[in-house]
Structure formats: C-alpha cells, structure tokens
Chains A and B, each alone.
Chain A
Amino acid sequence: MAVARIKFSRLGPVRYLGHLDMLRYFQKAVMRSGISAKYSEGFHPHQLMSFAYPLGVGMETKGDYFDLEITGAESGDEIRDRMNAVMNEGMKVVEAAIMPEGEPAAMAAVAAADYLVEYESGKDTDMAFLIGELMKQDEVFINEGEEEAEHKGGKKKKAPKDIRPGILEMRMTEDGIFMKLKSGSAMNVRPADVFERLLKFSPDQTALKASRLIRLEIYKEKDNTLCPLIG
C-alpha cells in the first residue's frame, strides 16, 4: 500500500471540463493503464483518488496533482509512462512519485499556486504599470458590495475581503502576467479576481480581456518555504 502523487497538464479544448468530469476521466485512465489502484470496500468499489485543487471550467494547467492509493510496487516513472500510454488529447502526466509515509494528502497540503494569465488588450495598455500600481496597494478588496450570492433562500452580500496579503508575486513575462497566489484553507486567492482588480487601474477597462488562464504549479509549505507538491 502506497500513495502515488500524479502531476498532470491539461491544455487546449479539454479545459472546458468540470472537476467531476476530470475525476471520471482519470478514473477511467487509471483503469486503462492497469496501475494497481486500491479500491474502497462495499458494493460499488471506487478508486481512492483525490485531487489537490479542483480545476475550474475553462482553466488550463501545466501543474495540477492528484493522489492515488495503489496496492502494488510501481515506481513513479512507471506510473507516468503507463498513464501516458493511455492519455487523451490535451491531457498528459508530467510526473509521478510515490510519497513517503506520513506525507500529508495533496489536498490538505496546498499552500500556493502559480498562474499565467494571457490577455487581449489595446496597444496602449501598459500592463507592467498596472501591475506596479496594484502591488503598491496595502489593501486590495474584492466583493466590495458589487457581488451578491444566493444564500439559503435569501440574497446575502459576500463580505469584502482583502486579498493583498495573498498576492505573493506578480510580474509581466513574454507570454502574459505571472502570478503567485496563496491557496488553501487559510487564504485562497483566485487569479480571475486579481485580474479583475488590475483592470480597475486601467483607464480603458473594457479593452482588457483574459483569453487564457493557466495554472503552472501548486505548492506546499515545507520549512517555511514553498515547494512543489512533488519534491
């Protein structure tokens, strides 16, 4: 009995799958690969599989993870190769590793994630400037009265939330905006929220449109530093 941690990418049109579709996709892929997945007891046994961080519909990834309990002695590389032999368009296993005993579950370990936001904008948008403006702020509030959500039959305003402490890093790269954001139960910052706040600093807000959102990596905290979920 061991836990394998599997890092995968999903790029292209498969990005429109929901989280449950991803779960079903990988259950079938594990089945096809012949990896020695462990099953739950009972009349409808299922694989013991859990994802680190559900992917939203429309988001791509180069570094998402799930844990899979196995009964055999497959190595990480073997798991990666066997999975990749049965993958589908747009999906790939990047890396797999057997976790040391006592390693917290991927889902519980998530502390931060990297994102790349590709966008369409007018020629004059100085994105580096906008990022600089946002990073200068001491507080960056979301849900400032503009959003209302259904809550137990009545409409309830979401409480305004300061996400500035969760924006660890943000800069321009050749491909788009790079963001390192806090994730997990203590503080969870969504890249779409950050992008939306950026627009507030733009004189011509409508010219900006995120066209692609890619998660690049998910981190856990180890000895007060961030390190990828495998490693």
Chain B
Amino acid sequence: MDVSERKTALSHEILMKAEKPARYTGGELNTVIKEADRVKVRFCLCFPDVYEIGMSHLGLQILYGLMNSYEDVWCERLFSPWTDMDRIMRDEKIELFALESQEPVKDFDFLGFTLQYEMCYANILQILELSGLKFLAKDRKEDDPIVIGGGPCTYNPEPLADFFDIFYIGEGETKYRELFDLYESSSSKAEFLRNASHIEGMYVPSLYEVDYNDDGTLKYMRPKYEDVPVKVRKTIVNDLNECFYPEKPVVPFIRAAQDRAVLEVMRGCIRGCRFCQAGQIYKPVRERSVETLKKYADAILANTGYEEISLSSLSTSDYTGLQELLEYLIDECNRKKINISLPSLRIDAFSLDVMNKVQDVKKNSLTFAPEAGSQRMRNVINKGLTEEDILRGSKMAFEGGWNKVKLYFMLGLPFEEKEDIAAIGELCEKITELYFDTVPKEKRQGRVEVSASSSFFVPKPFTAFQYAPMDTMESFLEKASFCKKNVRSMHNQKSIRYQYHDAKTTIIEGIFARGDRRLSAAIINAYKAGALYDAWTESFSYERWMKAFEDAGIAYGNYIFRERTEDELFPWDFIDCGVSKKWFYKEWQNAKEGKVTQNCRAGCSGCGCGTFQCGICVSR
C-alpha cells in the first residue's frame, strides 16, 4: 500500500481542531502495517493514558514487536483520546479506532490493556465506551473483542474483574503465542476462555465465584468448575538473553515523555524493600548479559536514530555488568554523538566518575532515595541505605563539584513516630553542614541546595506491608506539615527545599490497590460522573470518587484503614507470584521489630521464588 495515501479515521477538519493531531494519525517510524485479511488475529494494544505517556512505556514496545513478529497476528496501538478529542468523538459519534489501520477497535479480536497504575481505571471505561463496547464482560457479545489486561495492577485485578475477560498475570513474552493458537482453534468465546484458564498465568474472572463475610472481608474465592485452577501462577521469562527484545521500537514523531532508546538491563530487584511491590512481583532477579545489551544498543540506535539512550531496571546499580556496559556505551556514544541518560545510581566513586563523563556537572543534582528519615525507620522498611552511605556519597559529590542533592522520602510508613519524621529535616541539615565542612569558602559556587520531597505511603498487595493500615488523609497532612515546620526550623533552612505530594490521589490509589470485586460499581459511578485522566491533577476530583463509593454503598475505609490479620483471605491470594504469603507475614513481623532481611545477593531468605529455578536463585 502507498502509505502516504493511508486514510485517517478522522477528517482533516477534525484533525485541525485537535490539540495535537499527530496523536491520532499513526504512521511513525517502525510501525507495522499488515494486510488485515491476511492475518488471523488482530490485537489492539492499549495504554489507557495519553499518547506521549503510553509511547514512553517499554512494555508496550515489547508486546508490539513480539506480537507483530508472528506472521498470523497484527498488533496495533491505541491510547486514550485526550479530553479535547474525547469531546469531539462523542459529539460527532466517531467510533474509537486503532492507530495503524485506523479501523474501529470493535472489529478486533483482542483489546489488550496495560495496567500500570490505579489512577487510569476510569480511562479503561472511556476506551470501552468510545469503542462501542459494554463495560461488563458478561454484557459483551460473542464477536466483540476479548478484553485482556496485563501489567502490575493485575497483581490485584479484582476491582477490574467485571470489565475483563482475561487477566494475563506475569511477563508478556511467554504465553501470547499459546493463547493465540488456542484462540484460532476455538469455536466460541466461552470455549476459548475456559481453555485459556488452563494456560499458566491466565486468570479468567468469570470462572470464579466470591462471597464475603459480614465484616466485609473475603469469605471465599473459588473456581466454578473443577478444571479451572484454584491458583493462578505468574508466568515469567527464564532467560532474558533468549527472549524477544524490541530492536526496532516505534519512534514517535511528537515528543514523548521518554524520547530515547531504552535498554532493560535486568528484571527484578535483589533489595526487598518492604513497601515495594515491583521488587516482589518481578522476582527473581534475572540479568541480561553485557554482550546481549551491546548488540541491542547498536541495533536500536541504528534503527531509530535516537540521540539519547538510557538504562532501565528497578535498581541499575545492582546490575553486575554495569561498569563494563557503561564503558562500552560511553565510548560508542561519544563517537556517535549520543547522550547517555543515566538512571539514579548509588553514589560512589564509580558512579561519580561516570556522571562526570556523561553529564554537565553544573546542571545535574545527585539523587538519594532514603525513603525514611531515621535509621530505625529504614530498618523497618528494609531499605539498605544508611545515613553513612548518604553522607559519604554526598561528601564525595561535593568534592567533585556538585552542590545539589535531591532526597526522596515517604510519610505514613508503618510504625512511624514523630522522631522519624523529624529525622528528615535533620538529615537535610547534616548534608548542608557537610557541604560547608567539605568545600572551603573560596571554592563554593552558588548555594548548596538540598531538595527533599515526600510522597504518602500506599500499602500494596504482595508486599510485607499488605497487612498494614494506611494513614488517614488528616494524618498524612498533619505529618507533612510537621515535617515542613521541622525543616523550616533548621539552621540552614534556606538551603533546604521541602515539598510533598498530593494526599487525595493516594487515598484512592490505596483503595484500589487492596480492593475487591465490589469496587467495579464505584469505577462505573465515577466514570459516569466525569472521572477521566485521574493521574493528571487538573482532571482529578477526590469528591467525585468519594461520591462514587457512597453511591455504590461501599465503606471504603474498610479497604485501607484497618490492620489485616495473618489468617485473613485477601482478594489477591489466588495469585501465586512465587513469593509465599508466609514469607510476607514473616517480613511484616520483622518490620515490626525493625529487623533487617538480607538482600538476594547476600543470601537467600527463602521467599519461595526458588521454584522458578532461574536468575539469581540458581546463579548465586
């Protein structure tokens, strides 16, 4: 097909009215165009947020490339129409379409959502509605697309259970081929879904029934049929060197949030911070070899023309090949005039040397994520970063010419006391003092700047803190203002900046993080009342969500404010993420006692992931 003649679903007149028409026209470099009648499966892959955010997501590029590598499958992309286009599409009654073919979503075999954060849940309903699809899976027709969800939010998919036909739990690289084969050989939707539930990682919510106790907790969740598994085990890639990687990622025309080549150096994290869900659900740690990554870097840069490259993982400092990889990249990128965008690295002689080589020192600040102010609290959360580490790193950095330090904290962590919050200000003060002690007056360039920011803690499923009560909004705000006052009382307060994140979205996130099936009614209420783009402060309304819970008869406090007991059945317990519930409970006890657990590289703590028999569990 002569692609310049490719028709757009939206007319010239409508596109000229749009804020950024290129969000809707497709045709970017490395997009895949196939002949629709020559494929057996058409998959519409949706990131339910605006184009610039969705196109920055590596997982989307992986799935897009992987599915399109199958000859019988055509995967196309879809993002949430921005609010201006949302209005136009409703007014003009235009059906939502996928970017590549510009054809209606409704005609696809699959509509897949990547679920990255709770605040995009209303956007899922927008996509369904604009596509002409019913919200509830049970109301959709035989030939409507199979609606499937993947990504971190599927580790508690229950609030979305009524909207989806399948949740894919685990890493996308492993099971789609099997799923498509099954789809091609199935004679009905019901038959396909039933058999899909036999594939590892596939959770078909309609095949399970649930009931609740009088106190609102889950009484049971069980398969309706004998052949449907009681537990759904996540599916993962054993060897990252053997799996698909997008060497020809789609390159957006308009500036995306991440406008660069990305190398995923490893998956999983050795650290075991007790608040962190990603650290648990992506276990065990698996690394890509430096050789593989060099090959990908060369190929991606040649195929995209990107002028910047970055490394991605949960904790890149822990990647064992980091030094070798960076040395290679610095050499290559200097030659090719390509920027290296460094992830936040643990500050030591090596990382400072690297930063010196690739960054303009004056413009950059150093980042630490102590997460908590006091050492006691850092032990509670098992954050293996000590005050000594921070001060040593800062001292080296000051000696190297840096004078800006960024610090990230959380407020509302379990077992937090006033002293722990006060310690945030004290730590900032110590760093400024250290600057004055380290750098003699005549060598100081500008004022030392310490910027501290805090977010509010949300307990997540599959973490030690899944048992923890979450703070109330009043308590969050009290703590933040106490922290601020404390920072302001420091001697060097003029060199310290402190800001805190919004507490209202935190509450809503918390509800969905550990919620259950009854919440879907509230999502529908909120959406109907206008909820959309809740991850964007300008469109988020706390009051709208509160009313949505009330109208659905949901006492939301029950999901967030109470401590959960060891024997409580959680809505996400049917998922086997590899880490045992027993281990999480033990970690919860360790947190109470402020006892530190060693990281996966230092020694195995017996979490249960050894059963995957790969990555650090076998290489150590």
Residue of chain A at shortest CB distance from B3: A89
* Given A11-B4, A12-B5, A43-B359; A57-B21 close (CB under 8 Å): yes
Which A87-101 residues have a C-beta within 8 angstroms of B? 88-90
Collect the chain A residues with CB atoms within 8 Å of residue B27's CB.
12-14, 88-90
Collect the chain A residues with CB atoms within 8 Å of residue B360's CB.
43-44
Collect the chain A residues with CB atoms within 8 Å of residue B303's CB.
32
Q: B304 at interface (Cβ–Cβ under 8 A)?
A: yes
State in angstroms the CA–CA spacing of A21 and B51 once bound together. Answer: 15
Q: In the complex, are the beta carbons of A28 and B3 less than 8 A apart?
A: no
Q: A2 to chain B: closest CB distance in Å?
A: 18
Q: B26 at interface (Cβ–Cβ under 8 A)?
A: yes
Q: B110 to chain A: closest CB distance in Å?
A: 25
Which B286-317 residues have a C-beta within 8 angstroms of A? 301-307
- Encode contact with B along A37-62: 1 for CB under 8 Å, 0 otherwise: 00100011110000000000110000
Q: A61 to chain B: closest CB distance in Å?
A: 12
Q: A195 at interface (Cβ–Cβ under 8 A)?
A: no
Q: In the complex, are the beta carbons of A16 and B21 less than 8 A apart?
A: yes
* Given A17-B254, A25-B253; A89-B4 close (CB under 8 Å): yes
Q: A211 at interface (Cβ–Cβ under 8 A)?
A: yes
Q: B255 at interface (Cβ–Cβ under 8 A)?
A: yes
Q: In the complex, are the beta carbons of B302 and A32 less than 8 A apart?
A: yes
Collect the chain B residues with CB atoms within 8 Å of residue A24's CB.
253, 255, 259
Q: A37 to chain B: closest CB distance in Å?
A: 8
State in angstroms the CA–CA spacing of A185 and B360 once bound together. Answer: 37
Residue of chain A at shortest CB distance from B33: A89
Q: B12 at interface (Cβ–Cβ under 8 A)?
A: yes
Q: In the complex, are the beta carbons of A28 and B6 less than 8 A apart?
A: no
- Encode contact with A along B239-275: 1 for CB under 8 Å, 0 otherwise: 0000000000001011100010000000000000000
Collect the chain A residues with CB atoms within 8 Å of residue B307's CB.
27-28, 31, 46
* Given A44-B339, A57-B21, A58-B12; A30-B305 close (CB under 8 Å): yes
Residue of chain B at shortest CB distance from A86: B305
- Encode contact with A along B1-34: 1 for CB under 8 Å, 0 otherwise: 0011110100011011000011001111100000
Q: A212 at interface (Cβ–Cβ under 8 A)?
A: yes
Q: A52 to chain B: closest CB distance in Å?
A: 20
State in angstroms the CA–CA spacing of A46 and B466 once bound together. Answer: 48
Q: In the complex, are the beta carbons of B6 and A12 less than 8 A apart?
A: yes
Q: B38 at interface (Cβ–Cβ under 8 A)?
A: no
State in angstroms the CA–CA spacing of A57 and B336 once bound together. Answer: 31
Pick the most buried of B22, B253, B301: most chain A CB atoms within 10 A of its CB.
Answer: B253
Q: A29 at interface (Cβ–Cβ under 8 A)?
A: yes
State in angstroms the CA–CA spacing of A27 and B3 once bound together. Answer: 22
* Given A21-B22, A32-B303; A16-B3 close (CB under 8 Å): no
Residue of chain B at shortest CB distance from A11: B4
Report which of B6, B16, B254, B301 forms a contact with A13, defined as CB distance below 8 A: B6
* Given A12-B5, A44-B339, A88-B28; A28-B306 close (CB under 8 Å): yes
Q: A88 to chain B: closest CB distance in Å?
A: 5
- Encode contact with A along B309-348: 1 for CB under 8 Å, 0 otherwise: 0000000000000000000000000001101000000000
Report which of B13, B16, B304, B337 forms a contact with A39, defined as CB distance below 8 A: B337
Residue of chain A at shortest CB distance from B303: A32
State in angstroms the CA–CA spacing of A212 and B6 once bound together. Answer: 15
Collect the chain A residues with CB atoms within 8 Å of residue B16's CB.
57-58
Q: In the complex, are the beta carbons of A14 and B253 less than 8 A apart?
A: yes
State in angstroms the CA–CA spacing of A183 and B26 once bound together. Answer: 32
State in angstroms the CA–CA spacing of A211 and B12 once bound together. Answer: 7
State in angstroms the CA–CA spacing of A57 and B360 once bound together. Answer: 34
Q: In the complex, are the beta carbons of A21 and B253 less than 8 A apart?
A: yes
Collect the chain B residues with CB atoms within 8 Å of residue A43's CB.
359-360
Q: In the complex, are the beta carbons of A27 and B254 less than 8 A apart?
A: no
Residue of chain B at shortest CB distance from A46: B307
Q: In the complex, are the beta carbons of A17 and B4 less than 8 A apart?
A: no
State in angstroms the CA–CA spacing of A18 and B4 once bound together. Answer: 17
Residue of chain B at shortest CB distance from A60: B4
Collect the chain B residues with CB atoms within 8 Å of residue A88's CB.
27-29
Q: In the complex, are the beta carbons of A89 and B253 less than 8 A apart?
A: no
Q: B338 to chain A: closest CB distance in Å?
A: 8
Q: In the complex, are the beta carbons of B25 and A13 less than 8 A apart?
A: yes
Q: A183 to chain B: closest CB distance in Å?
A: 22
State in angstroms the CA–CA spacing of A18 and B21 once bound together. Answer: 9
Q: B330 to chain A: closest CB distance in Å?
A: 13
Collect the chain A residues with CB atoms within 8 Å of residue B3's CB.
12, 89-90
Q: B173 to chain A: closest CB distance in Å?
A: 27
Collect the chain B residues with CB atoms within 8 Å of residue A14's CB.
4, 25, 27, 253
Q: A15 to chain B: closest CB distance in Å?
A: 9
State in angstroms the CA–CA spacing of A210 and B254 once bound together. Answer: 25
Residue of chain A at shortest CB distance from B26: A13
Q: In the complex, are the beta carbons of A21 and B5 less than 8 A apart?
A: no
Q: B427 to chain A: closest CB distance in Å?
A: 31
Q: A109 to chain B: closest CB distance in Å?
A: 27
State in angstroms the CA–CA spacing of A115 and B339 once bound together. Answer: 39
Collect the chain A residues with CB atoms within 8 Å of residue B253's CB.
14, 17, 21, 24-25
Residue of chain B at shortest CB distance from A42: B360
* Given A31-B305, A45-B337; A16-B25 close (CB under 8 Å): yes
State in angstroms the CA–CA spacing of A43 and B337 once bound together. Answer: 10
State in angstroms the CA–CA spacing of A86 and B303 once bound together. Answer: 9
Collect the chain A residues with CB atoms within 8 Å of residue B15's CB.
16, 58
Collect the chain A residues with CB atoms within 8 Å of residue B21's CB.
16, 57-58
State in angstroms the CA–CA spacing of A43 and B356 once bound together. Answer: 11
Residue of chain A at shortest CB distance from B30: A88
- Encode contact with A along B215-253: 1 for CB under 8 Å, 0 otherwise: 000000000000000000000000000000000000101
State in angstroms the CA–CA spacing of A21 and B253 once bound together. Answer: 6
Collect the chain A residues with CB atoms within 8 Å of residue B28's CB.
88
State in angstroms the CA–CA spacing of A223 and B226 once bound together. Answer: 89
Collect the chain A residues with CB atoms within 8 Å of residue B22's CB.
16-18, 21
Collect the chain B residues with CB atoms within 8 Å of residue A89's CB.
3-4, 6, 27
Residue of chain B at shortest CB distance from A92: B4
* Given A13-B27, A14-B27, A58-B15; A27-B359 close (CB under 8 Å): no
Residue of chain A at shortest CB distance from B7: A13
Residue of chain A at shortest CB distance from B15: A16
Q: B28 to chain A: closest CB distance in Å?
A: 7
- Encode contact with B along A55-89: 1 for CB under 8 Å, 0 otherwise: 00110000000000000000000000000001011
Q: In the complex, are the beta carbons of B8 and A28 less than 8 A apart?
A: no
Q: A135 to chain B: closest CB distance in Å?
A: 27
State in angstroms the CA–CA spacing of A29 and B251 once bound together. Answer: 11
Q: In the complex, are the beta carbons of A28 and B254 less than 8 A apart?
A: no
Residue of chain B at shortest CB distance from A28: B305
Q: In the complex, are the beta carbons of A13 and B8 less than 8 A apart?
A: yes
Q: In the complex, are the beta carbons of A27 and B305 less than 8 A apart?
A: yes
State in angstroms the CA–CA spacing of A21 and B305 once bound together. Answer: 14
- Encode contact with B along A193-215: 1 for CB under 8 Å, 0 otherwise: 00000000000000001011000
Residue of chain A at shortest CB distance from B24: A16
Extra contacts, 5 of them, besides A13-B6, A13-B8 (Cβ < 8 A), are A13-B26, A17-B253, A58-B12, A88-B29, A89-B6
26 of the cross-chain contacts (CB-CB < 8 Å) are: A12-B5, A13-B4, A13-B6, A13-B8, A13-B25, A13-B27, A14-B253, A16-B25, A18-B254, A21-B22, A24-B259, A25-B253, A27-B305, A28-B304, A28-B306, A28-B307, A31-B305, A31-B307, A32-B304, A57-B21, A58-B15, A58-B16, A88-B27, A89-B6, A90-B3, A90-B27
Pairs of residues from A and B, 8 with the lowest C-beta to C-beta distance, nearest first: A28-B305, A12-B4, A89-B3, A31-B305, A16-B21, A32-B305, A43-B360, A13-B25
